[in-house]
Structures are given as structure tokens and as C-alpha cells.
Amino acid sequence: MASVGASQPGPLGHLAHIDSRERALERRIVVTGTFAAISAAAVQTTCHLLNAFVLDDRYRALEADAQGNVFDWVSAMAIAAAASTAIACAVPHARRLTYGLSGALLAYLSVDELAGFHERLGTAIAPHLPGPLSGLGDRVTPLIYLPLIGTVFVLLWVVAARGTAGAGLLRWGLGLLTGAILIRLAAAGVKLAGDQVSGPARDVGAALDQAFQLAAWLLVAAGLAARLPALRVHNE
């Protein structure tokens, strides 16, 4: 028979146990997300460069920047994962607007990635732009989408600035996304100067651009997912 004075775990001990499990789960999400981002980007880049430099661009399915192949689908799913986790974070969180708006914009970007709205929009708008901008074709897309991407960047940076779980992954993801945009803007700048990015430079640039984007969205998704355990526990 247990003694009347047997100690029972108090509320503080229970909370400490929950926090310990929460931190362990966060660490697993961070490690898994980082591994997934690096691995996916490495596989995609290897296939793209192998096709470009060894297989003479014979296989469109291996091109990282082609529309409608498996890499295009994986990239869209990575953005969808980021959108889903942002929306999931909005449910138990007091500041639902930041997460909810991030999720909605990311969901649009995921659909856009599959449907190719941005390429068609850039091609349609470019001829009506003034001066040399009219010759950019779909390379004008980064300029058109800067307000949308900028809004997503600010919202996610606000989330990361709170310094809680997943903040590091969010910052790395946003940094890589910035790198991808700068590569595209550089290509547009070269075209504006009357030159063309072609050959090995074009292949390497496309590989880096797509690798940065894929890794960025996977890191953002993992960074947001790492917040869910804390949000769920602290909402109970």
C-alpha cells in the first residue's frame, strides 16, 4: 500500500517534462528538415548538371528549371508544405494574421509553381514595358513578383525574429530565397545590357537558382513545423 505522503509530480515537474519532449521533437524536426533540404537540392543539382554537361541536355526530365517534370512538382510540394505548416501555426496562435497571410500567399505560390502563371504573366507583360525592359520576356517575372515575394519575406522574417523554435531554419531559408532572386535579377541585368547568359554559365546559374529555391522552401516548411509542438503545448 502506498504511503499517504508519497510524492506526486507537481505542475512544474509536469510542465518541465512536456517542455523536454517538446524540445526533443523540435530538434528532430530541425535535423530532418535540414537533411531533406540539403539532400533534395543536391540530387536536383546533380541531375541537372549531369544532363547539361554529360548527356548534352537530351533529357528534359532531368532539367531543374523545366516546367512539368518531377523537380517542378517537388518544388511546388515544398512550397505547399510551407503553406500548410504556416496555416497550422495560425490555428493555435494568438497572432493568427501573420501566419494565416503567410500560408495564403505561400499556397498561391505553390499553385503558381505548378501552373506556370509567373512565366506566362512575364511573357505577356514584358512587351508593354518601356524601353529595353520590353525585351526581357519571362525574365521580367522577378520584378513583377517582387511585391508578393517581399511580403512573404517580411511576414516570415517577423516570425523568425521572435527567436523561438525553427527561427534559424527560417532565416537560412529566406537567405537562400534571396540568393535565388538575385541570380534571376542578375540574368535579367545581363539581358538588359544586350548580352545573353548561355552555355555553362546558364546551366550552372539555373542549377543554383533552382537548388536555392528548393532548399529554401523546405527549410521554411521545417522551420514553421518546428514551432508547432510549442504552440500546441502552450495552447493547452
Residues 36-75 pLDDT 10s:
999 999 999 999 999 999 999 999 999 998 888 999 999 9
Structural domain boundaries of the chain?
25-235
Q: How much is the pLDDT for 92?
A: 65
Write out pLDDT tens, residues 108-127: 999 988 888 877 777 777 77
3-state SS of the chain?
A: CCCCCCCCCCHHHHHHHHHHHHHHHHHHHHHHHHHHHHHHHHHHHHHHHHHHHCCCCCCHHHCCCCCCCHHHHHHHHHHHHHHHHHHHHHCCCCCHHHHHHHHHHHHHHHHHHHHCHHHHHHHHHHHHCCHHHHHCHHHHHHHHHHHHHHHHHHHHHHHHHCCCCCHHHHHHHHHHHHHHHHHHHHHHHHHHCCCCCCHHHHHHHHHHHHHHHHHHHHHHHHHHHCCHHHHHHHHC
Q: What is the pLDDT of residues 206-222, one digit of tens each?
A: 999 999 999 999 999 99
